[in-house]
Structure 1
Amino acid sequence: MAWALGVEQMDEVVERIHGLLGLMHGPPQGLINRVRTWAIGALAGYQPKTTHEPVSRITAPTASRFSTGTPPRCTGRPTKSAQHYRASGGLQQERMPVAVALGGDPATIWTGSAPIPPDMDEMAVAGFIREEAVELVKAKTCDLLVPAHAEIVLEGYVIPGDERPEGPFGDHTGYYSAAEPYPVFHVTAITTAGTPYTPR
């Protein structure tokens, strides 16, 4: 894990996160500190290609095909994260554009499941851990920024109140999660970088 996140020891990641959380108490003072904390980089000219690669069914009792990674979700809401948006009742308010990035930089993937504060941007946290900005590009079919080096990007939207049962799902804990209602993700584009691999 340390190697994937670009550090010698995991303690370095802990120190960086503590430093990042310290910034929440106020903006950095002085020019040098402000430059050091600038996180999100410039946009890149990236032309993804459409793919039709399937996602496999991992275990027999699982209800459908699932990508089992924990990718970052880019949403059109200030809290950025889809679960935070849903928990706040956002699905009762308006249609929401969503992009899901699969694969790519390990720090970016890790932030998809990291217990970061709800008002922190996942890409900013990934850039802070990497000590290098996460390169972002504009999605093709919605007004969102997505990681430029993701293997696959799913673009689309959710509609208020449009939910369907999802599950059961074979979880990483070794148990199955029961079926629950989840928002329906209406896909408008699937893009890839070169010859992608399907993250598991």
Structure 2
Amino acid sequence: MAKRRKEKEEEYEFKLPEFDEEAYIKKEKRNIKVNFISFFFGILIGLVSQFLWKGMTPSVRWPLILLLGLFSASFIRYILIRLNIDVSDFGKKEWLGNFFVYFFTWLTVLIILLNPPFYDGEPPFAEMVTLPGVQEPGGTVVIAAYVADNAGIDKINLSIQQPNNITIYPSYSTNGNTISYTYTNKENLKGTFT
């Protein structure tokens, strides 16, 4: 009969690694600097994007500005190297985190700057009516218009071209966003007025 040997199990002793507080603080300070640089770079590119947005035709604005925002992110690495910040131990996680800080800062700044009161790309809303629709000889016509804009209206130009090709610029009365003018055809001109 064979004897059973009792093998002693080796005991595993867990030891905590020594915590290097100075290296940890140095690494966290560097990460904070990199996040702030990404944040401020996003603000800068957002301002540049808004300036370029104003000069582009509407059909190409979004694609070109989006490409500018995406490809400008590659400059963050060169800025960090130029500022002597050691990024040699940065992995994909750190770079991706800094990219998202930059990208969402850029996008937020751009969206804020492309809306009133900073920018208004929409034309003013204007609606006009003439009463009566057809003028009687020697009669008057009331011209009323409602004009509104997101950023407010500074000045409204009213011009009337008479059938004899003379253009008049009458003074009109305003009441908020509504203007009105009463045209009197003293010379009994016949034809189309614009």
Q: Tell me the TM-score normalised to structure 1 length.
A: 0.21
Q: Specify the structure having the higher radius of gyration (Cα).
A: 2
> Normalized per residue, which structure has more helix?
2
Q: Tell me the TM-score normalised to structure 2 length.
A: 0.22
> Normalized per residue, which structure has more strand?
1
